Amino acid sequence: MSLPAAPHGRVLTAMVTPFDPDGRVDPDGVGRVASYLLDHGNDGVVVSGTTGESPTTTVAEDGEILRAVKDAVGDRGTVVAGVGTNSTSHSVELAVQAEKIGVDAVLLVAPYYSKPGAAGLLHHFTEVARATDLPVMLYDVPGRTGQAIPAETYEAAARLETVTSVKHATGDPLATVALRQLGYSVYSGDDGLLLGYLAHGGCGIVSVAAHAAGERIRRVVEQFDAGDHAGALETFTGLLPVVEAVMGVPNYGATTAKAAMELLGVLTHRTVRGPLVPLDDTELAALRAALEKAGLL
């Protein structure tokens, strides 16, 4: 049986936001990363999410980043704009800006730190969804937000016409079954659980490891979709060193993905903004070894 339809493509990367050595947004670097990802197995990119260090960027910078991505990508792939914050008015402002720039969809994380509860979550999702005509991908990542999106909020949000998909990073692939019954397209938000999500009805992945291994991750999805589950497992097993290296350090995401982009020659530096710090020499060596072991370097 084939995988369910994937409204934004099967493989997307939550892409990094390149900064110059002084910490300013690097539009040329943004374009290079976006182009590289679409040339290496990705159907699209998710911009200004967690891996894009969105808590550290301004509204103006988010617009600059999106325009650089759109200039580089054109119509070759899907562009999903991260608009999630812990302020509803701020998220509305970002969503309106993203629609004007011409993105394909927005990613809306549950508000972090505030922990508004089921009613507050629904209010937040509703206000942002109604601010534009763009499709909305909810993002459920309780390890970062402090709370999972409860079932009653998912049920109510599913009645909003534009809320159509979920990036699910709760560690529970089984939840995909219930989400699909509500009408959601479900994307794995966890590289290490990709096969579990596909097995339970997920349609694809929003990945971090795909910065370095997009073509391999795409192969896993395509093999699974073709019914070659043993082959998908074999390909995925070969990727485990990369997944573990990318996701296995405390400040994974922007730090490891930027380091991978530098090792692959896409970026010339891996500047991150505080409170993140670059990988240390030991972490960088482990990432290099993992990419070499997987045949990616």
Secondary-structure percent of the chain, ordered helix, strand, coil, rounded to 5: 50, 15, 40
**The predicted structure's pLDDT at residue 278:** 92
Among the listed ranges 200-209, 221-230, 275-284, which one has the minimum average pLDDT value?
275-284
How far is Cα 142 from Cα 25, in angstroms, rounded to an integer?
28
Tell me: pLDDT of 251 over 90: no
Tell me: pLDDT of 253 over 90: no
Tell me: pLDDT of 1 over 80: no
pLDDT class of 247 with cuts at 50, 70, 90 = confident
Token pair of 84, please? Answer: 């999630």
What is the tens place of the pLDDT at every residue in 179-212? 999 999 999 999 999 999 999 999 999 999 999 9
What is the tens place of the pLDDT at every residue in 26-63? 999 999 999 999 999 999 999 999 999 999 999 999 99
Tell me: pLDDT of 138 over 80: yes
Output the average pLDDT for the chain. 96
**The predicted structure's pLDDT at residue 260:** 96
The DSSP secondary-structure symbol of 108 reads E
**The predicted structure's pLDDT at residue 248:** 81
- Name the β-bridge partners of 188: 168, 205
How far is Cα 148 from Cα 43, in angstroms, rounded to an integer?
27
Residue range 11-36: average pLDDT?
98
What is the separation, in whole angstroms, between the first and last Cα of the chain? 35
For residues 252 and 86, which has the higher predicted lDDT (pLDDT)? Answer: 86
Q: Which residues are catalytic?
A: 139, 167
Residue range 11-32: average pLDDT?
98
Tell me: pLDDT of 3 over 80: yes
Residue range 2-8: average pLDDT?
95
Give the rounded percent of residues in the chain with a pLDDT score beyond 70.
99
CB of 45 closer than 8 Å to CB of 257: no
Tell me: pLDDT of 140 over 70: yes
**The predicted structure's pLDDT at residue 252:** 72
Token pair of 7, please? Answer: 């409204």
Tell me: pLDDT of 250 over 80: no
pLDDT class of 23 with cuts at 50, 70, 90 = very high
Q: Decide: residue 198, CB within 10 A, 0-12 exposed, 13-18 middle, 19+ buried.
A: buried
What is the tens place of the pLDDT at every residue in 69-80? 999 999 999 999
